[in-house]
Amino acid sequence: MSGLFTLGESMGIFVADGIGPLGNARGFTLGVAGAESNVAIGVARLGGDATWLGRVGPDATGAIIAARLRASGVRVLAVPDEAHTGLMIRYQRSSQFIQADYHRAGSAGSRLVPADVPRAEIAAAGIVHVTGITPALSDTCRAAVFHAVEEARAAGVPVSVDVNYRGKLWSRFDAAPVLRDLVSRADVVFAGPEEAALFIDTDDPVDGLAKLGPAEVVVKDGARGCAALIHGRRYEVPALPVRAVDTVGAGDAFVAGYLADRLAGEDPGQRLRTAIAAGAFAVTVPGDCEGLPDRSELAALGGGDIVR
């Protein structure tokens, strides 16, 4: 198999209906949240192969994570753990603020260890994708991520990193050297401008990230589109104008769009157009992964133009 291989923590997420204080919510839905599994689903919806590895607890939430990923066409390597599966609660306090509470400390997903990473799967992958979230979860998670990266490099498999700095999980001070180290080992890197500024000094995040080593640097900047330096050539793609209803998951859709097209052998310009379109589609749909589009939905949205 030559598709995407990714690893990380996926959690159950309770999302409150409506807008208002959490205590007034009339009801909740239970979904699955996880940046890496979102990317895996996104790649699968766009027609690529995708495998996700992670630990899940002995509870129904763990089973739901595996089932929902499989339903979306993702191959699941779920390592059973005796700790409970992590949970999140998300509610919209007002039309302007979304709040998220983590209930994930000590969770099954945070107990991933290097030995969980299957060498053969890594070696057979078309690309290995990790994020900067997993190293923040625990020492063993950090070791597992770097182990997977090194296994990929040893096998000649390209490594993709989405920086994804999470201030609720660790301080900027703790995160910066780890994220810098991770990026320096990557072939493909995705970051927002503020994330990049955590560990690079130049004003231009594209250049700064590229100097750390990755041959493909993509800086996502939300409604301003993206800038990239791919094998020495610069690209800029503006955002598509859409009626945004929920920005959650847009970054993962963007990454999935780029990587799906990369796996499919598309050129960099096309990858970026697909990334922009996938991210644009995602913000027109509420939810973490409900907005990940398939190819026909992307086509309906239109494609975006490279302006340089």
Smaller CB distance to a second copy: residue 85 or 160? Answer: 85
- Interacting residue with a second copy among 77, 242, 264, 306 (CB under 8 A): 242
**Neighbour tally for 17: CB within 10 Å:** 12
Tokens of 228: 């990239």
Question: Would you say 23 or 167 has its CB closer to a second copy?
Answer: 23
Residue tagged active-site, from 49, 81, 162, 252: 252
193, 221 in Cβ contact below 8 A?
A: yes
Closest approach of a second copy to the CB of residue 92, in Å: 9
* Alpha carbon of residue 293 to chain centroid: 15
Of these, 27, 167, 232, 265, which contacts a second copy (CB under 8 A)?
27
Least distance (Å) between residue 65 CB and a second copy: 10
Choosing from 187, 266, 284, 303, the residue that interacts with a second copy (CB under 8 A) is 284
Residue 77 near a second copy by CB under 8 A: no
Task: Work out the number of other CB atoms within 10 angstroms of the CB of residue 96.
Answer: 7
Q: Is 246 a catalytic residue?
A: no
Question: In terms of C-beta distances under 8 Å and separation of at least 24 residues, what long-range contacts does 219-226 make, across chains too?
Answer: 219/190, 219/191, 219/192, 219/193, 220/190, 220/191, 220/192, 220/251, 220/254, 220/279, 221/192, 221/193, 222/192, 222/247, 222/250, 225/276, 226/254, 226/272, 226/275, 226/276
In 132-215, DSSP assigns E strands to 159-162, 188-191
Instruction: Tell me whether residue 61 or residue 164 sits nearer to a second copy (CB atom).
Output: 61
Which of residues 41, 53, 87, 250 is near a second copy by CB under 8 A? Answer: 87
- On whether the CB atoms of residues 240 and 277 are closer than 8 A, the answer is yes
Take residue 245 and report the two structure tokens written for it. Answer: 């209803």
Q: Which of 83, 98, 215, 306 binds a second copy (CB under 8 A)?
A: 83
- Report the residue from 105, 115, 154, 299 that binds a second copy according to the rule CB under 8 A: 105
The burial of 97, by beta-carbon neighbours within 10 Å (0-12 exposed, 13-18 middle, 19 or more buried), is given as exposed
Q: How far is the CB of 162 from a second copy (least distance, A)?
A: 23
> Does residue 168 belong to the site contacting a second copy (CB under 8 A)?
no
Residue among 44 and 152 whose Cβ is closer to a second copy: 44
Picking from 13, 14, 1, the residue whose alpha carbon sits closest to that of residue 40 is: 1
Residues engaged in binding a second copy (CB under 8 A) = 12, 14, 16-30, 59-61, 63-64, 67-68, 70-71, 73, 83-87, 89, 91, 93-97, 99, 101-106, 242-245, 281, 284-287, 290-291, 297, 300-301
